[in-house]
Each structure stands twice: as C-alpha cells, then as structure tokens.
Amino acid sequence: MSFESGMTHGRGLFGSETGITHECGLFGIWGRSEAARLVYYGLHSLQHRGQDAAGIVVKNGETLSRYKGAGLLTDVFSENVLSQMKGSAAIGHVLYSIGDPEYHNAIQPLLFHFEKSSLAVCQNGAYVNAKSLRKTLENYGSIFQTKCNSEILAHIIRRSRLVTFAESVKRSLSQVHGGFAILMMTQEGLFAARDSRGLRPLVLGKICDEKHGDSYVISSETCALDTVSAKYLRDIEPGEVVFINNDGISSEYFTSDRELRVCGMEYIYIARPDSNLQGVNVHTSRKNAGRIIAQESPTQADIVIASPDTGISAAIGYAEAMRIPYEIGVIKSRYIGRTFISPTQELREQGVKMKLSAVRSIIDGKSVILVDDSIVRGTTMKHMATLLREAGAREVHVKVASPLFRHQCFYGIGLPASHKLISHKKTEAQIAKSLGMDSISCISEKGLADAIGIPDSGKCRGLCLACLNGDYPTHLQDFAGDNVRE
C-alpha cells in the first residue's frame, strides 16, 4: 500500500501499470467535506465490481493525493488512513484484474503531476483501439510507464493544445473508442464520461444540504448513491462528458455518433440487484427472466433452487410462474469472492469448492430445478451437479437466465476467448451431459431483451448482446482481423 501526494508542480508519481480490462467500480464526489470517506462508502457498495485492489485520490486545496493497495476495500483503507485523507473532492476505483500477474501495479486512479497541474484518471472498460493509439503516441515521443488504457487517455489530453482543459478532454475522448466509463479530476473540477454506446454504466447523483451546499456524485451504479444519501438525477448519456466544479455542473457530447447499447451482462450478472440501470431495476429484470424461462421451457419438479447469489431473482420468478416451491437448497459462504472474476481456472475451482454447500434435508430425494444467471466456463455448474447428486437429488434440471455465451467481449468484460467457453460448438444437451445435469435450458435472446425491457425503440432495444450473438455495436478496430465469431 502507498500514500502519494503532490502540489501542482509535482514529481510525476505513477507506477508501471498493466493492460487491464475489467468490470471495475467508479465513484466520485465534488464539493463535500470528508470527500474521501464518502468515496470509501460508495466504493464499498461497488465492491462486487472489483475485489483485487482499491484506490482513492483526494483533492485538498491545490494538492491531489492518492492512497492505493491490493485487496478488498476494508483491507486497504483503515480508519487511520481515511482520517488523513482530508479534502472536498475525491474519486475512487475498485479493481478486477482478470488474472494479470502484475495487477498490484495497475491500481487506479492513476495520478499524474505536470508543471502547473495534476490529473487523476480512472476508468471501467476497454478501448478497441488502444494498441493503435499507443503506437501513434510513442511515434510522437510519448513514453509510457504503464499498459493501462487510462494512461493512454492522459497522454492524449496532455498533448492537446486546445485553450481550455474541458475542450482538451472532449477532443481526447473522441479519439478513444470502445466501452468505457471514465472519471477524471484536476484541481479545478471533476469530469465524468461514458462511451458513445453507453456500454459501461455511469450515473449522476446529488447530495442536497441547505447548510453546506449541494454536492454532485458520480457512480457506476445507483446502489452506491443510496449509501451516501445521494439523490439519483439521471444516467449519464452515451457520448456525454459531464463537467463539475465550484460553479456547478454542465455537460456536452464529445461525439455525434451516439446510440444506447448498454452491456447485457450488467443485468445478467455484474450489477447489484438493488441498482437501477437506464431506469430498469436489476432484480426486476432478473425475476422477469425467470418467468420468461418458465414460459419458454417449462419443467415440472419438486422444488426450485438458485445458484447463489445472482441466480436468486430469476429462481424466484421461475418458481412463481410454475407454482413450484422455492427453497434455499445451496448455501454460499459470505467470505469467498465472486468466482467468475477469479483470475485463474485453478483459483475458480478452489473458490467454488469453498463457497458452496448443499442443504441435504431440502435436496434428498427431490427432483430439482436449479436456476442460474449464466454459464460461462461451467466451473460452478459442474461442482453444483456433484453437490446436488451427493445430497440425494433424483433429477437436476438447469434453467439459465441468459442465452449461451458464444463470443468474446472486446469492451471490458472478462469473458475468455470463444473457444474456451463451455458453449463452444456444443448444444444445450451436450453441455448438460458434460456437466452431469439431466437437462439445461437457456432463455432466448428475445426473452432476455423482453425481461430487461429498456424503453428504447429499434432492433437492438438499447442492449449490447455481442457476447451472445456476435453483433458488436462498434467497429472492433485493433481486433477487426480476429476471427471473433469462432
């Protein structure tokens, strides 16, 4: 762990960060005393988005200071550390590393010090033109200390020669393409931006205080706004950059090529059930998915159980629709992280074994419907089959609240390459046999879109489902030559 600070004439304190793409969590606040502590509380509500590391940059007068470390938020930030982080504005980040062996060097926010200013940057997502941008910048003399996308953006901003910093930010954002949500902070203000397709979520909130004045809050999800008693104002729009300073708030679009295609995985797996994304409650969308699966592939059984925790909402929906009792048949340890985002297959398998246990008295002799949010590698599902069989289940039928994943994601979700997915060149029946289940049925793509129900007209209905159907909402640029459909 480390504590770093610098005045506007700082020394350029930033480490060698690696090329990380991930579903991380962002939280920032401007115009509030004890800003770092409030960011800590916000990040705590976003811990499900990243469990490998955390960092916060706080603004105290003309000084930007950073504290960061590996591990869960509570491991990194003690009361003693938080008490030292004084200031009226702060941004923070929780990291999911996707197995990078040097992730401890990739802890955001990045903090850069120039001759007359400082800049803190953190982001969630990935650029599809990162390789090309890096090569171009290096040809013009840029020297990179990291492989992190955030540093690419900082270099582009620094090289801009526009009159105001806000104009430089707008121009720079128009040059990075892909799926991203970005937070930046200088001594003068806080900047928040969302990619042109709105793939990565980002929301705006406000803390109203008659005594101390209003404060604006930026978060990856609405659940974190509730933690700091902030009122939800709106989702930041695709291709929009929001500027917040002591004079208030304003926003502009940095591109005219805008279309809402928010990532479907946010609703399927990533976001917390109590969050609302694009006006849609995540729990409600998952419960709707369970009801639709019951319509599309009804199966009678003695009980319905969920793969905890992200399968619970869909399981409740399925049980209600089929009028089958919903039971807690599998118990999850609260002290094991999300195994989908564990960095290696070995750790995923060990984590699943430590995390889940069956309730024999509920399962023994029963025909069981097991509802899960998704099947990616099959690690959890295979272990679940063994657990339920050993607990005496007569039959195990799986209902999945998402279609089969068949394609790689290039926008920041840690899905493996297509050939490493369990669905690669397999039918549902073949997958069921390989996992030891009696049957597996997945919701249709239309059913998933209906379950989420984003109020948006058009064929895409406001969703990116590229990992399911290969319909990528942007040109893939550096990845365009890859055989992405295999």
Give the length of the chain. 486
Distance CA 226, CA 208 (A): 13
Q: What is the 3-state secondary structure (H, E, C) of 63-105?
A: EEEEEEEECCHHHHCCHHHHHHCCCCEEEEEEECCCCCCCHHH
The domain made up of 286-463 has a fold known as Rossmann fold (3.40.50)
CB 269 within 8 A of CB 263: no
Q: Is residue 377 pLDDT above 60, yes or no? A: yes
pTM attached to this predicted model: 0.90
Catalytic residue (choose from 24, 223, 409, 467): 24
115-141: string of b/e by CB count within 10 Å (b at 16+)? eebbbbbbbbbbbbbbeebbeebeeee
pLDDT single digits (tens) 240-278: 999 999 999 999 999 999 999 999 999 999 999 999 999
Q: Is residue 343 pLDDT above 60, yes or no? A: no
Domain boundaries of the chain, sorted by first residue: 2-259, 286-463
Reading the block at residue 405, the tokens are 């994943």
What is the pLDDT confidence band of residue 336, given thresholds at 50, 70 and 90? low
Q: The domain 2-259 belongs to what CATH superfamily?
A: Aminohydrolase, N-terminal nucleophile (Ntn) domain (3.60.20.10)
Question: Residues 409, 410, 415, 420: what is their CA dihedral angle, to the nearest 10 degrees?
Answer: 80
Nearest to 205 by CA among 226, 180, 190, 188: 226
In the chain, pLDDT over 70 holds for what percent of residues?
Answer: 87
- Catalytic annotation present for 24: yes
Specify the DSSP element, H or E, that contains 221. none
Quick one: DSSP state of residue 478?
G
Quick one: DSSP state of residue 326?
B
C-alpha distances out from residue 309 to 37, 242, 356, 374, Å: 28, 34, 11, 12
pLDDT single digits (tens) 157-171: 999 878 799 999 999
